[in-house]
């Protein structure tokens, strides 16, 4: 569920005194070589969590999932299942490490993601079936020279990222990760009611984040292979044309918005008719089941 977090406090003195109070050399500060004066920023790591002190604030950031695994002997990874009680434990452990209550720190960045085991290889699906986001090209995609596969779509306040988590960690099973990262604190507050770290403890707010992840997933254009379907010539041509974001861009630029959105609706209906949406439906069901398992709410049924 919750992975990367960035939270800050403008009342930084307590946190600053604590990370500067160690007698070891693991707290690192900038230095004015001319005067020898210690300057900002100062930083210290607790497992993978970075605590950074600037001249105006104290910042805590990084993956809570990885922190929990490192802290509890499960390795430096975030491919394991991260249950709600684990999330709560991770914050308790971090606050013990910091000797600081961070519950009232303001949250400015927050990542919510789920790992699901799939019947098909994620790399294959990403290459051949994850074609567009909302009938547009993905902004970013990479293979990491064969060591990973991801596609990402960026919007002003958040981005959506889907990638082969199993390939990233060289796992012997198929593992796909779907995540959203909200990069605007105003959106966190407005859409999910998340303003401080304490708000992340609220299951209802986590459910709102999951519903948003599902909404984003629903916007991904995932189309089954046409080779396994008996499709009439003209409709097969229409489906093939619709697999290209350039086609939809031309329609959007040359036709009315009503025509454009009606055509999209007809296209999606055509995919349903020929059952070219089975991969997407399977993955969506897996996301719902995974959230139910992690949050501990078997009554949740999705939107």
61: closest CA among 72, 75, 45, 74?
45
What pLDDT, on the 0 to 100 scale, is given for residue 300? 52
Tell me the C-alpha distance between 42 and 56, whole Å.
12
Strands, E assignment, the chain: 2-9, 28-31, 38-46, 49-53, 58-63, 106-117, 130-133, 140-142, 150-154, 158-164, 175-182, 220-222
What per-residue confidence (pLDDT) applies to 57? 97
Residue 135: what are its φ and ψ, rounded to 5°?
65, 25
Pairing of β 58-63 and β 49-53? antiparallel
Burial class (CB in 10 A: 0-12, 13-18, 19+), 184: middle
Residue 49: the pLDDT is 98
Tens digit of pLDDT per residue, the chain (303 long)? 999 999 999 999 999 999 999 989 999 998 777 777 878 999 999 999 999 999 999 999 999 999 999 999 999 999 999 999 999 999 999 999 999 999 999 999 999 999 999 999 999 999 999 999 999 999 999 887 777 789 999 999 999 999 999 999 999 999 999 999 999 999 999 999 999 999 999 999 999 999 999 999 999 999 999 887 888 889 999 999 999 999 999 999 999 999 999 999 999 999 999 999 999 999 999 999 999 999 996 555 555
Distance CA 283, CA 278 (A): 9
Q: 3-class DSSP state for residue 51?
A: strand
Helix count and strand count (H, E) for the chain = 12, 12
User: What distance in Å separates the CA atoms of residue 283 and residue 178, rounded to the nearest whole number?
Assistant: 10
- Please measure the distance between the N-terminal and C-terminal CA atoms of the chain and give it in whole angstroms: 18
Q: The whole model's pTM is what? A: 0.93
């Amino acid at each position: 569920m919750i992975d990367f977090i960035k939270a800050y406090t403008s009342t930084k003195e307590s946190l600053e005194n604590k990370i500067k109070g160690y007698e070891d050399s693991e707290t690192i500060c900038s230095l004015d070589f001319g005067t020898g004066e210690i300057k900002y920023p100062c930083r210290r790591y607790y497992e993978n969590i970075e605590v950074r002190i600037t001249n105006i604030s104290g910042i805590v950031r990084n993956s809570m999932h990885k922190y929990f695994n490192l802290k509890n002997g499960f390795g430096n990874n975030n491919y394991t299942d991260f249950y709600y009680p684990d999330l709560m434990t991770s914050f308790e452990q971090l606050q013990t490490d910091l000797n600081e209550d961070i519950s009232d720190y303001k949250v400015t960045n927050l990542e919510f993601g789920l790992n699901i085991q799939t019947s098909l290889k994620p790399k294959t699906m990403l290459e051949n079936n994850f074609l567009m986001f909302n009938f547009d090209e993905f902004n970013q995609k990479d293979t990491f020279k064969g060591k990973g596969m991801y596609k990402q779509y960026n919007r002003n306040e958040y981005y959506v990222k889907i990638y082969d988590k199993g390939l990233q960690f060289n796992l012997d099973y198929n593992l796909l990760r779907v995540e959203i990262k909200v990069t605007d604190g105003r959106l966190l507050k407005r859409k999910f009611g998340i303003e401080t770290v304490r708000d992340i403890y609220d299951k209802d707010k986590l459910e709102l984040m999951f519903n948003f992840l599902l909404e984003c997933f629903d916007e991904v254009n995932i189309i089954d292979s046409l080779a396994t379907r008996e499709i009439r010539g003209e409709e097969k041509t229409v489906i093939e044309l619709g697999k290209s974001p350039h086609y939809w861009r031309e329609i959007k630029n040359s036709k009315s918005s009503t025509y454009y959105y009606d055509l999209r609706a007809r296209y999606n209906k055509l995919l349903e008719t020929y059952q070219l949406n089975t991969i997407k439906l399977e993955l969506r069901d897996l996301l719902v089941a995974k959230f139910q398992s992690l949050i501990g709410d078997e009554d949740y049924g999705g939107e």
